Amino acid sequence: MNQEFAGYSITRSMSGGGMTKLYVAIDAQQNRYVIRVLDAVGAKDRKNRSRFFHGGEVLARLQTPKPHPNIVPFIKTGREGKTPYMVLQYVESRTLRDLILYRDALLTDNVMIFIRQLAVVVHYVHTHGFLHLDIKPENILIRPNGQLVLIDFDLALPRKRFFKKLSTVSGTTAYVPPETLMNKTADDRADIYAFGICCYEMLTFHKPYEGEKIEQVRAAQIDPKVPPTPIRQYNPNIPMALANLIMKCIAKNPEDRYPDMGLVLRDLHTLI
Q: Catalytic residues, which ones?
A: 152
- Overall residue count recorded for the chain in this entry: 272
Cis peptide before 208 (omega within 30 of 0): no
For residues 183 and 153, the answer to whether their CB atoms sit within 8 Å is no
Q: Bin 144: left if φ > 0, else alpha if -120 < ψ < 50, else beta.
A: alpha
Residues contacting residue 195 through CB under 8 Å, at least 6 positions apart: 118, 119, 122, 135, 249, 261, 264
3-class state of residue 218 by DSSP: helix
Characterize the bridge pairing of strands 83-89 and 130-131: unpaired
